[in-house]
Structures are given as structure tokens and as C-alpha cells.
């Protein structure tokens, strides 16, 4: 069994395409079974089947690795003896998925024995785009390297997500500040895809006050490798907890941080960033 990170990246890219095709095959079924986990919180057969496929492929190819998936059997503990822990959201943006909207994705990240995220792959099956990054190797979209110019907070749209079952005030505070600066917001309904868009330079930043590791980690690696800035999910929290996530183009990072205010207390800030 290989532990070469480049092989893991290629494996994750191919797996994300296969998983996206499987999810797509469910999307147009008239009798798709949709189960509610809470208000505006759905799980479908597509989420479960896609996660099952991802788990099986990883277990076969990397049997010593750990897997944590949103719909699955992981217990949120990072097993430090494993070389890698795969952190997977089979469909991020299930509300969009069940509503017939195009913005949902497959998100796959790897963290190493120290809990450090080093690989992130996000696949948009509808747009047929694979955003991929391995630490130290830059970011690619469908295999092409990209570079992202510096942008200020009013040079484009800022992604803002609002978590279900969480207080409204952190989101409202951020939006109030953004609008008073003359900025504009965009909610894709998929935090992971919005993070990929920040990495690609399509959004100048992204904020959501409460996310889980499977929403955040792949995007965090993409953003770091594109030269952007992001909070550090595994440093600020853990696989078992939810945390605020802020990510930005370098030209907008400080302004974005200021808008989020107290909710980010204790999180790694642009000022403390050591580039690791
Ligand atoms: C959700 C999406 C959404 C975000 C929620 C997440 P899910 O993930 O990323 O954009 O606002 O906080 O839970 O449930 O579609 O995998
Ligand atoms: Ca999610
Ligand atoms: Ca999900």
C-alpha cells in the first residue's frame, strides 16, 4: 500500500468524479427518497449511497486509513496511528440537490497523523469541475494550474452561508458590516463549493459561523494552496466539533476578519498566520 500523497490526490480526484456521477444518477429520480433530519436538513438515498461508495473505495485502496463521513459511521475521533484520516461530505448542498439547483458538490479531504489537512478535492458534478490541491503543489481546476490575483472586499462577491439550528446574530452582524462597506453577498447553499470558489478567485471570501470538518477541510487546503487565507479548522476545533469558518483572498482577509467580530474569538487570525 502506497502512502505517496500524490497518489492519494489522484485517487481522490478520480473517486470524486465517480461519486459525483453516482449522486447525479439519483438526482432526476421521481421517487428519490428524501428524509428530514430537521428543518431544511435533508438526507437522501443519494447521500447515503455516495458515502458508501467513497468509504468502500478508500477502505479497499488504503485499508489502514481512517474515514469520517457526514452520513456515516465515524465517531469524530482522529485516530493518530493512521497515516491519514479521510474527511468526506458525499453531497455538500443537499438542500440545493433536492431542490433541483446546481450548486452541490462532493468534498474529500485528508488530514495527517498530526491532524493537519494536506489534501483537498471538491468535485462539482453539474459544472463538471474538479478543484484539487495537495499541500506544496498549488491548486488545479480540471488539471490546470491557476493563479489568483489579490482582490479587496468590494472587488467581487463574498460568500455567506447561514447554518441551520444556529443563532442568527453572527450572520446578521457580518452581513450588516459587509453591506455598510458597499460589499455584496452570495449564498451558494454549499459551503464547500463556496470555499472552492474563493480558492478559484470567483468569490473574494466566505464566512459561515458554524460548520463541521467535512464542510470545511477540503476548501481550507484549496484556499491555502491558491495563496489565500483561511481559519484553521483542526487548530481552532476538532473533527468532533463545529467552528466558524472564514476564508478570503489575501487582499480581503483582514477586512473579512473584522466583519465577523467576536464569534471568531480564539480562532487563528490573519495577523497570527504562520503560513503552515
Ligand atoms: C450544508 C451546506 C450549507 C451550509 C450548512 C451545511 P449539507 O451542508 O454546506 O451551505 O450552510 O451549514 O450544513 O447538509 O448540505 O451537507
Ligand atoms: Ca455539508
Ligand atoms: Ca452533506
CA of 134 to the centre of ligand 2 (A): 21
Substitution candidate for ligand 1 out of 35, 124, 191 with most atoms within 8 A of CB: 191
- Yes or no: say if 230 and 219 are a contact pair by the CB < 8 Å rule: yes
pLDDT at 1: 47
Greater confidence (27 vs 232) lies with 232
Same domain, 141 and 161: no
Residue 151 lies in a domain: no
For the chain, the distance separating the N- and C-terminal CA atoms, rounded to the nearest angstrom, is 28
pLDDT attached to residue 262: 87
User: Is residue 145 a contact partner of residue 139, using CB atoms and an 8 Å limit?
Assistant: yes
Residues 86 and 162 both lie in one domain: no
Q: Which element (helix H / strand E) includes 199?
A: helix 191-199
Given ligand 1 and candidates 190, 193, 213, 245, which is best to mutate, with the most ligand atoms within 8 Å of its CB?
190
Backbone angles phi, psi at 248, to 5 degrees: -160, 155
- Indicate whether 129 and 169 sit together in one domain: no
Same domain, 137 and 164: no
Mean pLDDT within 256-266: 91
User: Based on the domain organization, do 18 and 116 belong to the same domain?
Assistant: yes
Average pLDDT over residues 156-173: 95
The CA 93 to ligand 2 mean position distance, Å, reads 6
State whether 196 and 257 are in the same domain: yes
- Take residue 144 and report the three cell numbers written for it: 490546470
Shared domain for 81 and 174, answered yes or no, is no
Which domain covers residue 196, as residue numbers?
A: 157-274
All three cell numbers of 2, joined, read: 502506497
- Is residue 79's pLDDT more than 70? no
Q: Are residues 132 and 194 in the same domain?
A: no
Asked if residue 71 belongs to a domain, the reply is yes
CATH of the domain at 190: 3.40.190.80
Q: Say how far apart CA 60 and CA 200 lie, in whole Å.
A: 32
Residue 167 lies in a domain: yes
pLDDT at site 164: 84
Query: Per-residue pLDDT for 198 more than 70?
Result: yes
Ligand positioned closest to the Cα atom of 96:
1
Among candidate residues 115, 145, 175, the one where a domain is terminated: 145
Rounded to two decimals, what is the model's pTM? 0.94
Q: How far apart are CA 122 and CA 106, in angstroms?
A: 6
166 CA → ligand 1 middle, Å: 12
Nearest to 216 by CA among 147, 138, 256, 159: 159
Phi, psi of 37 (to 5 degrees): -100, -5
- Residue 77 has a pLDDT of 52
Number of domains in the chain: 2
pLDDT of residue 270: 87
The whole-number pLDDT of residue 275 equals: 56
| Side-chain half-sphere CA neighbours of 251 within 13 A | 15
Q: Which atom of ligand 1 lies at the shortest distance from residue 93's CA? A: 15
Backbone angles phi, psi at 36, to 5 degrees: -85, 130
Measured in whole angstroms, how far is the alpha carbon of residue 36 from the centre of its chain? 22
Query: Strands, DSSP E only, in the chain?
Result: 34-38, 41-44, 66-69, 85-92, 105-111, 117-124, 129-134, 139-141, 144-145, 157-160, 184-186, 205-211, 229-230, 243-248
Based on the fold, state whether residues 119 and 200 are members of the same structural domain: no
Same domain as 131, residue 165: no
Question: Does 152 fall in a domain?
Answer: no
Domain annotation covers residue 150: no
Q: Are residues 38 and 85 in the same domain?
A: yes
Is 115 in the same domain as 218? no
Which of 112, 145, 178 is the endpoint of a domain?
Answer: 145
CA of 198 to the centre of ligand 3 (A): 20
Choose one of 215, 218, 242 to mutate for the ligand 1 pocket test, by most ligand atoms within 8 angstroms of C-beta: 215
Give the residues across from 117 on adjacent strands. Answer: 111
The CA angle 201-205-208, to the nearest 5 degrees, is 140
pLDDT tens across 22-67, in order?
A: 999 988 776 667 676 665 566 788 999 999 999 999 999 998 899 9
Domain end among 117, 145, 173: 145
Q: What is the CATH number for 89?
A: 3.30.540.10
Residue 185: pLDDT band with limits 50, 70, 90: very high
Residue 66 lies in a domain: yes
List the beta bridge partners of residue 86.
67, 110
* pLDDT surpassing 80 at residue 263: yes
Are the C-beta atoms of residues 232 and 181 closer than 8 Å to each other?
no
Ligand nearest to the CA of 104: 1
Ligand 1 centroid, distance to 66 Cα (angstroms): 23
Pocket of ligand 1 (CB under 6 A): 70, 89, 92-95, 161-163, 189-191, 208, 211, 215
Amino acid at each position: 500500500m502506497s502512502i505517496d500523497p500524490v497518489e492519494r490526490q489522484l485517487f481522490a480526484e478520480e473517486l470524486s468524479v465517480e461519486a459525483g456521477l453516482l449522486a447525479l444518477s439519483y438526482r432526476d429520480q421521481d421517487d428519490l427518497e428524501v428524509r428530514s433530519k430537521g428543518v431544511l436538513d435533508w438526507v437522501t438515498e443519494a447521500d447515503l449511497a455516495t458515502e458508501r461508495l467513497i468509504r468502500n473505495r478508500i477502505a479497499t485502496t488504503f485499508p489502514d486509513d481512517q474515514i469520517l463521513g457526514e452520513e456515516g459511521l465515524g465517531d469524530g475521533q482522529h485516530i493518530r496511528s493512521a497515516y491519514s484520516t479521510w474527511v468526506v461530505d458525499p453531497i455538500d448542498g443537499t438542500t440545493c440537490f433536492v431542490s433541483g439547483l446546481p450548486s452541490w458538490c462532493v468534498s474529500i479531504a485528508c488530514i495527517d497523523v498530526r491532524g493537519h489537512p494536506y489534501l483537498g478535492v471538491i468535485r462539482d458534478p453539474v459544472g463538471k469541475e474538479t478543484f484539487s490541491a495537495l499541500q506544496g503543489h498549488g491548486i488545479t481546476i480540471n488539471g490546470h494550474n491557476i493563479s489568483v490575483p489579490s482582490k479587496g472586499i468590494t472587488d467581487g462577491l463574498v460568500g455567506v452561508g447561514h447554518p441551520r439550528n444556529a443563532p442568527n446574530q453572527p450572520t446578521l452582524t457580518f452581513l450588516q458590516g459587509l453591506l455598510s462597506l458597499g460589499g455584496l453577498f452570495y449564498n451558494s447553499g454549499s459551503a464547500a463549493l463556496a470555499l472552492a470558489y474563493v480558492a478559484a478567485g470567483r468569490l473574494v471570501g466566505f464566512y459561515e459561523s458554524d460548520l463541521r470538518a467535512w464542510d470545511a477541510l477540503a476548501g481550507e487546503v484549496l484556499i491555502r494552496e491558491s495563496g489565500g487565507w483561511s481559519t484553521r479548522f483542526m487548530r481552532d476545533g476538532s473533527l468532533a466539533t463545529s467552528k466558524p469558518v472564514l476564508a478570503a483572498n489575501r487582499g480581503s482577509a483582514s477586512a473579512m476578519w473584522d466583519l465577523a467580530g467576536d464569534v471568531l474569538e480564539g480562532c487563528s487570525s490573519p495577523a497570527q498566520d504562520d503560513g503552515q
